[in-house]
Amino acid sequence: MSTPTYLFRRVLQAAAVILIVTVVVFALLHSLPGGPARGILGPQATAQQIEAFNHEQGLDKPLPVQYLYYLGQLAHGDLGTSYTLNEPVSQLITERLPKTLLLTVLSAIVGLLLAVPLGMWQAVRRNKPVDYVITTLSFIAYSTPVYFLGLILVLVFSQALPWFPSQAPQGHTLGQVLSDPQGLVLPIAAGAASMVAVFSRYMRAATLENLSEDYVRTARAGGSRSRAILWRHVFRNSLTPVVAMLGYYVPVLFGGALVVEQLFNYPGMGLLFWTAAQSSDYPVLLGCVLIIAVATVTGTLIADIVQRIIDPRVKAGRS
């Protein structure tokens, strides 16, 4: 398949997936008990007040109508208005999305930069003490809830050892956030930990598999040293399956951001989603979910394209 045809098809698929996500999430949110009126007007509100609110917000119309109305607005970039903050959702998201992207992308980069060499090191030293130690630490990091890990990080590196602030940078713009790199260290560490744990396992498995491939023996028979073979051949071959996994990891990263932002009081998407969920702020919730869906689909799309670049067989449809 030629590259333009491929891209066109993949983007169409992505759009279809996002549309389905909006339907599912819309249906789920509207089937929750309580409803937004109760959340906004409080437990004291009378039935009349609630009815008036529902009418005003269009919440008394049939669900499909509400959904179509929502989609129509979406086409114009209008994600609705927050019930609680009285601000357009699109504006809330534009303000906060870059911060979350900054946090997740940096966490992902740091995580991968650690996970890939760690996994390879483990594979080369398979069943040696280093392998066992890293494996143990990986399982601990993976099974510890992010909020607990974050708390420990704060206790150790902010309270006991006053190296880093316990609060993330509070600036509104990316520039302001980046001007306080110290404050980003602990949130990124908390976000990257599970990434390191998971991807070092993938990398270890992929490297082990490739080390036993015939081409490694061919390279050795040609007089190449182990180290050269590892970096020239095994590294790239092992990276392809790991890159494929990366796309599917985007929602996990966002999930992590939800907790990390709450913990370090970092005003990003996660915090927005958290508060919106607590006050049944439907427009905001839908907007956030939509963004996460778009991010996930984009993530897999990018992973697929990167795979096409590093593995020529994918383009030829051979694997």
Partner 1 sequence: MTADQRPAAPAAGPILRLDDLGVVFTTQSGEVPAVRGVSLLVEPGETLALVGESGSGKSTVALAAMGLLADNARATGSATVAGTEVVGAGEAALAGLRGRTVSMVFQEPATALDPLTRVGKQIAEVVRNHREMSAKDAAAEAVELLRRVGIPEPEKRASAYPFQLSGGQRQRVVIAMAIANEPALLIADEPTTALDVTVQAEILDLLRRLAAETGTGVLLVTHNMGVVADFADRVAVMYHGEIVETGPVEDVLLRPSHEYTRRLLAAVPRLSVDGEDLSETPRAAAPPIEAEPVVELDNVSVVFGRGRGAVRALDGVSLTVRHGETLGLVGESGSGKSTASRVALGLITPNEGTVSLFGTDLARTRSRARRALRAGVGVVLQDPVASLDARMTVGECVAEPLRVHRRALSARERQERVAAVLDRVRLSREVARRAPRELSGGQRQRVSLARALVLEPRLLVADEPTSALDVSVQEAVLEVISELQAELGFACLFVSHDLAVVQHFAQRVAVMRAGRVEEQGDTGTTLLRPETDYTRRLLAAVPVPDPVVQRSRRTERLATLAAGRTEATA
Q: What separation in angstroms does the CA of 184 have from each of 11, 81, 192? A: 34, 31, 12
In three-state secondary structure terms, 171 is: coil
The minimum distance between CB 196 and partner 1, in angstroms, equals: 25
Of 239 and 276, which CB lies nearer to partner 1 in the complex structure? 239
Q: Does the protein bind partner 1 through residue 204 (CB under 8 A)?
A: no
* Residue choice 75, 160, 161, 221 for contact with partner 1 (CB under 8 A): 221
The minimum distance between CB 234 and partner 1, in angstroms, equals: 9
Q: To which residue do tokens 């050269």 refer?
A: 228
For residues 233 to 262, the per-residue mask of contacts with partner 1, x marking binding by CB under 8 A and - elsewhere, is x--xx--x----------------------
The minimum distance between CB 238 and partner 1, in angstroms, equals: 10
| CB-CB contact of 312 with 319 (8 Å) | no
Q: How far apart are CA 160 and CA 21, in angstroms?
A: 45
| CB-CB contact of 206 with 115 (8 Å) | no
Of 172 and 220, which CB lies nearer to partner 1 in the complex structure? 220
Tokens representing 284?
């905001």
| CB-CB contact of 184 with 169 (8 Å) | yes
Q: Does the protein bind partner 1 through residue 217 (CB under 8 A)?
A: yes
The minimum distance between CB 145 and partner 1, in angstroms, equals: 38
Of 224 and 279, which CB lies nearer to partner 1 in the complex structure? 224
Of 64 and 312, which CB lies nearer to partner 1 in the complex structure? 312
The minimum distance between CB 112 and partner 1, in angstroms, equals: 19
Q: How far apart are CA 187 and CA 233, in angstroms?
A: 35
Q: Does the protein bind partner 1 through residue 318 (CB under 8 A)?
A: yes
Q: Does the protein bind partner 1 through residue 224 (CB under 8 A)?
A: yes
| CB-count burial class (<10 Å; 0-12, 13-18, 19+) for 119 | buried
Q: Does the protein bind partner 1 through residue 213 (CB under 8 A)?
A: yes
Q: Does the protein bind partner 1 through residue 226 (CB under 8 A)?
A: yes
| CB-CB contact of 110 with 190 (8 Å) | no
Tokens representing 312?
């020529």
| CB-CB contact of 247 with 301 (8 Å) | yes
Phi, then psi, of 29 in degrees rounded to 5 = -65, -40
The minimum distance between CB 232 and partner 1, in angstroms, equals: 7
Q: How far apart are CA 281 and CA 57, in angstroms?
A: 12
In three-state secondary structure terms, 88 is: strand
Q: Does the protein bind partner 1 through residue 214 (CB under 8 A)?
A: yes
* Residue choice 89, 92, 219, 253 for contact with partner 1 (CB under 8 A): 219
Q: Does the protein bind partner 1 through residue 309 (CB under 8 A)?
A: no
Q: Does the protein bind partner 1 through residue 9 (CB under 8 A)?
A: no
- Per CB under 8 A, residues contacting partner 1 are 213-215, 217-226, 232-233, 236-237, 240, 310-313, 316, 318
